[in-house]
Amino acid sequence: MLFADDMGYSDLSCYGNPVIRTPNLDRMAEEGLRFTSFYAAAPVCTPSRVGLLTGRYPVRAGQPNNTGPDTHGGLRLSEILLPQVLKKRGYRTMAIGKWHLGYRPREYLPTSRGFDHYFGLPYSNDMIPPWVKTSVPLRMYRDVEPVETAGDQSTLTERYADEAVKFIRSSKDAPFFLYMPFAMPHLPVSAPAGMRGRSRAGLYGDTIETLDRAVGEVLGTLRREGLDENTMVAFCSDNGPWNDLPPRMLANGVEPWHTGTKGVLRGSKATTDEGGMRVPGILRWPGTFPARQTCLDMASTLDLFPTIAKAAGAEIPADRVYDGVDLLPLARGGGAAEPRKEFFYCRGKTLEAVRQGPWKYRNARIVRQEGAAGDPPVAELFHLDRDPAENYNVTAREPETAARLKARMEVFAKEIGADLA
């Protein structure tokens, strides 16, 4: 499971970027299934990871907001994560990259949440001065111990790829689960010396192309080790690009254009606009998933939990409600019906929108910098097949549809304990 950080919907060649070259992810999409309406569980880092690893909306799982370097605790320990389910099937597990679900006390680290081993950063790469006011140094962890201070970040992606290759090679004779949440392209972006200046999209493009090369290392290792047809690989992002940067981020060389592709979808990270939560989504499993598939229907990071568990023959706990759906029938081809009938967009603990089929109803306040909201909420209705950029509010023309979706939001908000704007 390969998980980018703050990658925009159109940052990859196979999603329409005109200048960023991503041959490995393009080939992954060509060899499998590419989603055009794939949604992150939340528009910011921590809750998005909650949804991915629990298969539950973050509000339902009790962690709708970000953690940070000064946080004690994190995602509640009663939540069951995907690697815990897989370990019961004999899987060897490792997390490589950004964790961001709590790191102190150590019970919140990956090695207490179903992962045999961990290497990476416990939270976002910008959570250090001058971008964040904290006295806690950003450290790289190996299992439960900090092993070095994270200084130069330009080699992070390469180091993660090296760790992934080692893990795959050492695990090839038994079932394994690799979770690889990259640190980038979350700001501050950087790239190793050999990749700098190669992309026509500047440093941001260099960062994406470095990530693509890391994906190529993973896929190439699977091929060389003879694991290609026995391994499902998923790629997606935790939320949309961090456009409209807060002033605190414009320091130490960070520029406003060091973020994802703009103008394709409305909004960005930290919003429930399409640009905040619709992300690239690719599934690949040669011999099981037919190649050259493009799915226009809804799917979500929430769906990867039940999909992977089902593929592994693992039993999903029956003592809690899950919000993901099994994508295997769809991915295997054969004209399976749309698996996901609706998707809910939450920002923090607030439920702001719902999508059913092509219709999206949103009732939200305008988001200011750093996620603060002001002004009265605005009711909007969009037909996302005709208007994916959310340019045309048709609430007045479709009042019955708007009323139906609003009522559905009210019911679901009560079910999961969410607020409404």
Which amino acids are annotated catalytic? Answer: 45, 100
Q: What are phi and psi of 274, to 5 degrees?
A: -60, -35
Query: How is residue 337 written in tokens?
Result: 């019906």
Q: In what order do the strands lie in the sheet with 92-96?
A: 145-149, 139-142, 117-120, 92-96, 176-181, 2-4, 233-237, 278-284, 33-39, 293-300
